[in-house]
Amino acid sequence: MGLIEFLTPGAILIMGGLLAGLLPARLRPWAGVALPVLGFAHLLTLDKGLVQTVVLFGQELTPVRVDGLSLVFGYVFFIAAILGGIYSLRVRDGVQVVAALTYVGSAVGAIFAGDLVTLFVYWELTAVTSVFLVWAGRTERSRRAGMRYLVIQVGSGVILLAGVILHFVDTGSLDFVKLIGDDGRLAAASFGVLLVFLAFGIKCAFPLLHNWLQDSYPESTPTGTLYLSIFTTKLAVYALARGYPGTGALIVIGAIMTAFPIFFAVIENDLRRVLTYSLNNQLGFMVVGIGIGTELALNGSAAYAFANIIFEGLLFMAMGAVLLRTGTCLGSELGGLYK
């Protein structure tokens, strides 16, 4: 097995992203385009069904698993990363370039993880790398929002780790496969499986666990908000589709998600915050499909996630352009443009 097949598809972005900070300022933005293109090319060389394992501390781990579900998310993550890199060509800030590339690479690595330990590592990496996109706003509000965001995201990882440990004690398995029983009842699940579900729910912005989304994303830079809107919550959607298909509770949770954010969106003045409520609403449809759990419903959720990454990203691009040209995203200060 060649080294290229052993590397997770996100490795090029993570390693290249760290080195991108050493490039001259005028070349850094081009790394944001070139590295996702190289990563996508790497992904296209991997055969569907590839499973790459390693043994660590006596446990067999699967850092790379390529199947239909991971490929769907892998393709759209790279497409979005390439488009995001083009959108960010004006950015010379090394912090944003490095953070964006390593963040995307970590998210990609997570969706190709075949075991829960590898998933946890990338899960936490997405938290640590993405917070710098919030802090890149370089305001007091962004600094405070970034700290709250980091606490929530790292907390999600700690809960995930606790759940993985308890699940391993119960079953002796670290495989990232369907964790819920065929009956789809959370009430019958082990405590470890419930903790993993909670960790996924935090990152997916379930009702009452969602405030970090509206709190942090609008405080980032125009390009930082774009990247944030794409990868964190869609990684959670992928994780739910992998681990909890057919979980009845997700139908109720998703239905609530589709409804309640709209009431907040219509009274919100900050148009980027309006879009975060819209994002929350769109996630609900995906969650409902995963909860239904049939092949058609799961395909629909994956397809909707694919489409949403493109059109929601475009909406955040548009708002970023407004912010860049006018200096504000407050509807009350945009005159007739807000309509």
Query: Which tens digit of pLDDT belongs to each residue from 25-35?
Result: 889 999 999 99
At residue 54, the pLDDT reads 86
What digits encode the pLDDT tens for the residues 94-144?
A: 899 999 999 999 999 999 999 999 999 999 999 999 999 999 999 999 999
What digits encode the pLDDT tens for the residues 177-209?
A: 999 988 889 988 999 999 999 999 999 999 999
At residue 318, the pLDDT reads 93
Q: Are 242 and 250 in contact (CB under 8 A)?
A: no
**Mean per-residue pLDDT over the chain, rounded:** 92
Return the higher-pLDDT residue of 136 and 5. Answer: 136
CA–CA distance, 68 with 264 (Å, rounded to integer): 36
Best CA proximity match to 68, nearest among 97, 98, 47: 47
At residue 6, the pLDDT reads 57
What digits encode the pLDDT tens for the residues 233-263?
A: 999 999 999 999 999 999 999 999 999 888 8
Q: Name the H helices within the chain.
A: 3-6, 11-20, 28-45, 68-87, 94-111, 116-135, 140-171, 191-203, 211-216, 222-243, 248-265, 271-292, 295-326
What digits encode the pLDDT tens for the residues 292-331?
A: 999 999 999 999 999 999 999 999 999 999 988 888 888 8
At residue 5, the pLDDT reads 52
CA–CA distance, 145 with 142 (Å, rounded to integer): 5
